[in-house]
Amino acid sequence: MSSLDEFRKCPRGNLRITVTDESLGFFLRPRIADFLKSYPEISLEVSTDLRLIDIVDEGFDAGVRLGELVTQGMISVPVSPDIPFAVVGSSTYFKSHAVPKTPASLHEHNCIGVRLPTHGKIYPWRFRQKGKDLKFQPVGQFVCNNVFGARDACLDGIGLAYIPKIVVEEHIQNGKLISVLEPFCPTHLGFHLFYPRHHRHSMPLSLFVEEMKVK
């Protein structure tokens, strides 16, 4: 009984979590530091990956992805506010290119693509115009496999990028990037931490979920 009481007072165990770079960098990182300080007997392994993987098959306890990408049947807990997206270009780029006024005018621009690793397709840009959802398939000279590569290419003046606004907010504020098409840009569901139902009684995972979720 004394050993059990000790375990309850000082929970221990290992956790493996798969996350995206932006969810880790902008939302989870400070909370993870607090979590590990609070529970020194819990070890955490974090793997950054954009793939939509089967977390059970690949040995993870939980994952973090945009809410719209979470597999049905999983327990899902929001760990961020909803995420506004933006179309941005550098001030250098707009010296030689007109500012797009509608999503249709993007056909005249060099659009930076992000290739999704799971399906191998370029992520479509989503807009809302006159009450209707629109998809635009970006075409341009440069394709990368994550939002930070798209942001950096945008900063280098290669073209326009469609990207979570939180990733480029600092550069918009300092004038290096210009946000366009704002009336048409949607807000996506925020990042969610998700895990299989059979893990709901794991104490380390329960504590982790409590620390990460939006308060």
- What count of other Cβ atoms lies within 10 Å of the Cβ of residue 154? 27
Helices 203-212 + 29-38 axis angle, to 10:
140
CA 12-25-50 angle, to 5 degrees, is 90
Q: Is the dihedral of CA 104, 110, 116, 121 positive or negative?
A: positive
Please give the model's pTM, rounded to 2 decimal places: 0.83
Span 114-153, pLDDT tens digits: 998 877 889 999 999 988 999 999 999 999 999 999 999 9
As a whole number, mean pLDDT of residues 187-201 equals 85
Per-residue pLDDT, 100: 97
Span 34-87, pLDDT tens digits: 999 999 999 999 999 888 888 989 999 999 999 988 878 899 999 999 999 999
Query: Which of 44-58, 86-100, 190-204 has maximum average pLDDT?
Result: 86-100
Q: Rounded distance, CA 165 to CA 106, Å? A: 18
Per-residue pLDDT, 201: 64
Span 155-168, pLDDT tens digits: 999 999 999 999 99
Q: Is 40 exposed, middle or buried (CB count within 10 Å of its CB: 0-12, 13-18, 19+)?
A: exposed
Per-residue pLDDT, 1: 45
Give Cα 115 distance to the centre of its chain.
14
Residue 3 has pLDDT above 80, yes or no: no
Residue 57's Cβ-side half-sphere holds a number of Cα atoms within 13 Å equal to 3
Question: By C-alpha distance, which of 59, 56, 58, 57 is closest to 75?
Answer: 56
In sequence order, which ranges of 84-179 are alpha helices (DSSP H)? 147-155, 165-173
